[in-house]
Amino acid sequence: MANPRLRSKSTFPGLALITVGALLLLHNYGGFNIGHFIWHWWPLILIFWGAVKLYERTAASRAGNAATSPITAGEIFLVLGLLSLLGIVVAADYSKQHLPDEVWSRGFGDKFEFDLEVAPRAVPPDARITIRNGRGNISVHASEEPQIRVSGKKSAKGWSERDAQKLAERASVEIVQNGDGFEIRPAGSVDSRLSLDLEVSLPKKSLLTIRNERGDVGVSDLGTPVTIINGTGDIEVRNTAGDVSIDTRKGDVKVSDTNGNVKVAGHGGEVSVNSATGGLTLDGEFFGPITADKVAKGVRFISQRTDLTLTQLTGHLEAGSGNLEITDAPGNLNLRTNRYDVSVENAGGKVKIDNRDGNVELRFSAPPKEDIEVSNAASGITLTLPGSSSFEILADCHSCDIDSEFSGDSLKKISMQSGDSHLEGKYGSARGPKITLKTSYGSISLHRTSSDMPVPPKPPTVKVPTPPSLPKTEKH
């Protein structure tokens, strides 16, 4: 009798272990984001598993072995176990990035602080300086002296002050020369139970780069460009004379009195930029409010929801809580967004707005000189102009009405039986800009400014005759 052929062994468990091991290795040493990979690419697990089983079946068929290895309970438990392991890694990373230090490290005991002193180091007045830190706040200010001074605090967690002191004594901060620049960085043994709060003084003309993982960062009074890359924590930069570049994952950003361009990228909460001689570029997801005041060369705001370009901003911009407000923007305005109620006052250049599911309101205190184009959907458009304006208009409202306080022989409004409305024509004696307004399931309203509205005449004054005085009677 022929010997029964042996059942072929599956190669899937080995390949799965190799793949997960490689992912964990890349995560630990290559900065690979496992959470992002699993969220977007988890179907590859099924594809990979199916491809292995299909290959095994094909190989067994070619070898004349009909007994192929099916999907076993062991393989299913292996996959679930590996996914649980990856889930634990992702949860740990999320906790480190989003939970406060007190929550993450509360199991390590109480917090104790110890003084941090570092020997000063002489550097050139225009030195290139990098500050690296893991956990802790960083505060940098300018000095007239050509040297770096570092002081601050070591904050250590321990079950007793002695345990915390031992932990703090194993860590320090050093100033080393790195090529043609200098680097301020932790030295010794530093783990999650220890944070280093740094107070740094350096020459005013230093070219500064800060790389921090968790903690607040403050920079003031520098006369050269500043670059800040921070993980979790608030950032404040004020009174600088160069470009400011900020990359953050979580926290508020505040920049004020900057003689240069400002760029903020990443993810975060509030963003405030005030008095910049250059332009502001905001690239990322910030949940606001976002405010900008007096940005000479305008604002560029890019997110999944909004694409905004302002060539000048002498007034105020604010975005948050479903509202986007722009006041006093002398240059051109180009906006594409959705689910925002948009309010624009005193735009000086061309205006182009493409919105959806949010009202759009434009107000002009002086007659506009450049073209205006607004496209909306499922919400209304309101335009307020001085009565002295001259313009050419084309307005279409699908399943909605057009209300206009401007009238004239050259303005023609058509209301259709389908519920659509159309307004077209010219207004004013001079040649004016072209105004194009389109929306659906909302309304279009054209208003005059309040100063142009006719004042109702005062009612005539009616004089009431004074009754004659009665003669006085003498008392007896």
406-438 pLDDT per residue, tens? 999 899 999 998 899 999 999 998 899 999 999
Looking at the predicted structure, is the pLDDT value of residue 118 above 90?
yes
Which pLDDT belongs to residue 23? Answer: 77
Beta strand extents in 261-322 (DSSP E only): 262-268, 271-276, 280-286, 290-295, 299-302, 307-310, 313-320
Contact 301, 307 (CB under 8 A): yes
Which pLDDT belongs to residue 476? Answer: 41
**How far, in Å, CA of 373 to CA of 392, rounded?**
12
Distances (CA, A) of 311 to 121, 242, 307: 44, 20, 13
Looking at the predicted structure, is the pLDDT value of residue 468 above 70?
no
Looking at the predicted structure, is the pLDDT value of residue 171 above 50?
yes
pLDDT band per the 50, 70, 90 thresholds, residue 21: confident
The SS3 of residue 436 is strand
21: number of Cβ within 10 Å: 11
Looking at the predicted structure, is the pLDDT value of residue 255 above 70?
yes
**How far, in Å, CA of 138 to CA of 143, rounded?**
16
- In this structure, what are the phi and psi dihedrals at residue 325, rounded to the nearest 5 degrees? -120, 135
In a 10 Å sphere around its CB, with 0-12 CB exposed, 13-18 middle and 19+ buried, how is residue 175 labelled? buried
Q: Tell me the pLDDT of the chain averaged across its residues.
A: 86
Which pLDDT belongs to residue 53? Answer: 75
Region of 387 please: left (phi>0), alpha (psi -120 to 50) or beta: alpha
Beta strand extents in 25-122 (DSSP E only): 110-122
- At position 374, the amino acid (one-letter code) is V
**How far, in Å, CA of 233 to CA of 254, rounded?**
12
b (16+ CB within 10 A) / e for 230-263 = bbbbbbbbbbbbbbbbbbbbbbbbbbbbbbbbbb
pLDDT band per the 50, 70, 90 thresholds, residue 104: very low
**How far, in Å, CA of 439 to CA of 381, rounded?**
7
Which pLDDT belongs to residue 74? Answer: 75
41: number of Cβ within 10 Å: 10
Nearest to 56 by CA among 20, 94, 14, 24: 14
CA distance between the termini of the chain: 159
What average pLDDT does range 248-263 have in this prediction?
A: 96
Which pLDDT belongs to residue 206? Answer: 94
Which pLDDT belongs to residue 421? Answer: 96
pLDDT band per the 50, 70, 90 thresholds, residue 379: very high
26-76 pLDDT per residue, tens? 776 555 667 767 777 777 777 877 787 777 777 777 766 655 556 677 777
Strand duo 181-188 + 171-178: pairing = antiparallel
- State both tokens at 118: 């570092």
Looking at the predicted structure, is the pLDDT value of residue 119 above 60?
yes
**How far, in Å, CA of 192 to CA of 234, rounded?**
19
